[in-house]
Structure 1
Amino acid sequence: MEVLAPGLIVSAARSGAGKTVVTAGLQRAFARAGVAVAGVKCGPDYIDPAFHAAATGRASVNLDGFALAPPVLAGLAAEAARRASLIIGEGAMGLYDGLATPTRSGSSASVARALGWPVLLVLDASGAAQSVAAVALGLARMPDAPRIAGAIANRVASDRHRRMVEAGFAATGIPVLGMIPTDPRLALPSRHLGLVQASETAELAARLDGFADVVEAHCDLHAIRAAAATTADAPLQPTTIRPPGQRIALAQDAAFAFMYPHLLDAWHREGAEILPFSPLADEAPREDCDACWLPGGYPELNAGKLASNVRFLKGLRHFAETRPVHGECGGYMVLGRALTDAAGTVHAMAGLLPVETSFAARKLHLGYRRATWTDTMPFADAGARCWGHEYHHATICGGEPGSLAAMTDGEANVLPPAGHRRGFVTGTFFHVIG
């Protein structure tokens, strides 16, 4: 049997502890040392994997413990491990945070247990000392805890602070694999959906090298690599979302960036060809395509430009007369009649779906979702159920009621029907994962 690359997951007690920066720093440090390192991300996230890819030079994949069945999860992890010699994964939120359900909670701990990978804790030491070790010990002693490989204390203020943190860990038996001082280089800009996208981050390569410099100086890279556990071999599984066409025009730029790589990979394996185009550059979907997909992203930050890009809008409308077009979240908003930006300015959109959305009347919509499609579409049959999530601040401020899918949240609580269909055009705020 093939021996696959070992992996571990960087996690924390809560969001904001520095997981992404430390993960990217570790990935970059190993890559600079000549290690074929790859990233993975637990949970539904589009932004962090792009930083992993920039740090490692290899695509990162999402391993979602809620939306992906265990065989699918195992197959994706094994495929990532076939393409690298070390996997440095990143958790979501806190280690045990997820749905309050006994199965498919989606937590980083559940993914680590399912894959047999240990967890490397990143703990914020600001405002605490010996108590940092107590937090680590509590995480390690939770029922059904994954194996804790060790801990990195982040934001250590001084040598005295470091000694106090070390004294706490000496009583726990949990290895301290790093003590990272407070450093202005360990920062990334953010906005309403999280970090600013990697593609929009100024001087990204220099930032990543700065992360790696700090990590190399203050972490035991040899011990961290040695702590990773071998990945079990497993075959890739088919996706629940079939390709919407054989030649798929995919909107891809700063306004349309939120597409899960494992879905595109699955479509490629089924023989589909993906042909990107940029609405922000006023490009239309190619005429030689037989389907168009508008992913989520940040159309609300680019509404004025999109509304003025006549070639894009005219080409999209022409395409939709004869071929299927689907929009997820931001793509759904652009397919609608109008989008109101944060300043309250109303921008006309494609007008292909009877919905109007607003980023001025903001409300956070966040969580796992199960969608049961009410009609057959190119990518799914009527009655088929898909797993995914919703994450946006926009609201529906006008239009007709939607009924493209019956919806529940991650705990099976019934939600109102969502999404619209008009002719060949469909769309919803729901992001498909599996």
Structure 2
Amino acid sequence: MAAALVISAPASGIGKTTLTLALARAWRHRGLNVQCFKSGPDYIDPAFHAAATGRASVNVDSWAMDSATISHLISRGADADVVLAEGSMGLFDGVAARGVSGTGATADIAEMLGWPVVLVIDPSGQAQTAAAIATGLRDYRAGVRLAGVVLNRIASPRHEDLVRRAINDAGIAVFGALPRHAEISLPKRHLGLVQAEEQAEIGKLIEEAARFVSEHVDLDAVLQSAASWSPQPVVNGLNVTPPGQRIALARDAAFSFVYPHMLEAWRAAGAEISTFSPLADEAPDASADVCWLPGGYPELHAGKIAANTRFGSGLRAFAETRPVHGECGGYMVLGAALTDADGIRHEMTGLLGLETSFAKRRMHLGYRLAALAAPMPGHKVGARLRGHEFHYSTILAQPDTPLAVVHDATGAVIAETGSRRRHATGTFFHLIAEDR
């Protein structure tokens, strides 16, 4: 049996990730095996979880996944002593229309699994009002149980006393209060936190967070508030079809946004994955039968990608006879050109006619449901694919045949249809699952 908890907050940017990493590392120092998960479509946080625990973390998503898939994914915590699911955005934040098993809100996962919630609350600029917020979150949805709160960015002992008294008077446990501490702030960029693999000092940062949280949070009380959990037998596993038997996967700082459960599902189905680095001017494995370019940060490396002729010529040669698929950043690189934030136009691989620009950034964010009008690797015409889109690029041209009819979570048709040309396909959304 594992002690299971959900770490959430009233909003984004409150400190969920820092607290999750700190708790995981602190309990690991006590000799406990800790397994983390991420609620929602986040490609970055699971890598931080893995750095803190030494165990791979995966996403669970109530909008895109059914309960059987979620149960299968969390079963990897069967041998853990502690299981932590880190939420996204605010506790009840999701989309307006229900998806497969929920709206994508962290509360869906907490209720589905029966795991109590530890709230991170930042009472900056307030005092007793923090108790009203905690009480409102506790009482908003009957099936979601609040374990207690951790206060973050406390200004002074007097501030802590005011907030703590008010929350305790509301019948809610306060597990600890964290003073402001800039040394454990995680660096950010336009798509969220700077990736764990890009931070040489990530180990030291997590260690400092664990030390700091251990000094100010009652770790024993947090553990005692957890649910006792063990996985139930699951009949159906992951609903993901591999795009081929031998998959050449682009993997480096420019191509890193791939959901861990996707790779797990491909391997579980018997597929073999070989990685290559476009930034190191490597071409896809010539023995592979499909090439997959995930998203990432090609806009930060556009000049180098354009100059790496071995990668470009190798990819074009591969695409002469075999399918190549790109997601978001990978889709942009399959296109004709990418204009970076400085307004400089870089020639891309030209397998598709797509042209994109970051000169005038505009955020595109949300769940996507795509009905394929043409096949793409691993999926037939008519397949209904669920995914998530998050980027700041603007489409300058998308001249090729649309790959799919794409709707957002409200059912509205969107312009980012994806493209296909000969053996090349691409989408702006990152695939999470196919409807059963």
Q: State the TM-score, normalizing by the size of structure 2.
A: 0.96
Matched length:
430
Query: 1:299-335 deviations in whole A, cap 9, x for unaligned?
Result: 0000001111111111111111111111000000000
Aligned equivalent of 2:166: 168
Instruction: Name the CA distance, whole Å, in 1 between partners of 2:126 and 2:300.
Output: 39
Structural mapping, 1:246-265, within 5 Å: 246-265=245-264
- Taking every aligned residue pair, what percent have the same amino acid on both sides? 52
Alpha-carbon deviation of 1:102?
Answer: 5.2
Helix, strand or coil: the match of 2:131? helix
Alpha-carbon deviation of 1:136?
Answer: 0.6
Contact 2:68–2:237 (CA under 8 A) maintained in structure 1: no
Structural mapping, 1:18-417, within 5 Å: 18-77=15-74, 79-101=75-97, 104-229=102-227, 230-235=229-234, 237-400=236-399, 402-416=401-415
Pick closer, same or farther for the CA change 1:238–1:381 going to 2, 3 Å.
farther
Helix, strand or coil: the match of 2:28? helix
Alpha-carbon deviation of 1:49?
Answer: 1.0
Aligned equivalent of 1:15: 12
Query: 1:100-154 deviations in whole A, cap 9, x for unaligned?
Result: 2356211000111011111100000211122212111100000335110110000
Contact 1:255–1:280 (CA under 8 A) maintained in structure 2: yes
Instruction: Name the CA distance, whole Å, in 2 between partners of 1:372 and 1:301.
Output: 31
Query: 1:30-81 deviations in whole A, cap 9, x for unaligned?
Result: 122221101100100011111111111111110111011121112211x221
Deviates further, 126-135 or 61-70:
126-135
Instruction: Name the CA distance, whole Å, in 1 between partners of 2:19 and 2:206.
Output: 10
Contact 2:242–2:266 (CA under 8 A) maintained in structure 1: yes
Alpha-carbon deviation of 1:399?
Answer: 4.1
Query: 1:367-399 deviations in whole A, cap 9, x for unaligned?
Result: 011011111233101101011111000011124
Instruction: Name the CA distance, whole Å, in 1 between partners of 2:67 and 2:410.
Output: 18
Opposite residue 193 of structure 2, the aligned amino acid is L
Opposite residue 91 of structure 1, the aligned amino acid is G
Opposite residue 71 of structure 2, the aligned amino acid is A
Helix, strand or coil: the match of 2:221? helix
Helix, strand or coil: the match of 1:339? strand
Opposite residue 113 of structure 2, the aligned amino acid is L
Pick closer, same or farther for the CA change 1:185–1:237 going to 2, 3 Å.
farther
Instruction: Name the CA distance, whole Å, in 2 between partners of 1:266 and 1:209.
Output: 32
Instruction: Name the CA distance, whole Å, in 2 between partners of 1:307 and 1:421.
Output: 21
Runs of 4+ in 1 over 4 A off after TM superposition: none
Helix, strand or coil: the match of 1:280? helix
Contact 2:398–2:419 (CA under 8 A) maintained in structure 1: no
Contact 1:251–1:293 (CA under 8 A) maintained in structure 2: yes
Contact 1:11–1:94 (CA under 8 A) maintained in structure 2: yes
Alpha-carbon deviation of 1:401?
Answer: 5.1
Q: Which runs of 5+ in 2 are unaligned?
A: none
Aligned equivalent of 2:423: 424
Helix, strand or coil: the match of 1:414? coil
Instruction: Name the CA distance, whole Å, in 2 between partners of 1:380 and 1:343.
Output: 37
Instruction: Name the CA distance, whole Å, in 1 between partners of 2:357 and 2:77.
Output: 42
Q: Which runs of 5+ in 1 are unaligned?
A: none
Instruction: Name the CA distance, whole Å, in 2 between partners of 1:17 and 1:399.
Output: 38
Instruction: Name the CA distance, whole Å, in 2 between partners of 1:105 and 1:165.
Output: 32
Contact 1:151–1:178 (CA under 8 A) maintained in structure 2: yes
Helix, strand or coil: the match of 2:279? coil
Q: State the TM-score, normalizing by the size of structure 1.
A: 0.96
Pick closer, same or farther for the CA change 1:337–1:138 going to 2, 3 Å.
same
Helix, strand or coil: the match of 1:433? strand
Contact 1:240–1:386 (CA under 8 A) maintained in structure 2: no
Instruction: Name the CA distance, whole Å, in 1 between partners of 2:81 and 2:288.
Output: 37
Helix, strand or coil: the match of 2:184? coil
Pick closer, same or farther for the CA change 1:102–1:312 going to 2, 3 Å.
closer
Helix, strand or coil: the match of 1:415? coil
Opposite residue 69 of structure 2, the aligned amino acid is V
Alpha-carbon deviation of 1:288?
Answer: 1.5
Deviates further, 340-349 or 390-399:
390-399
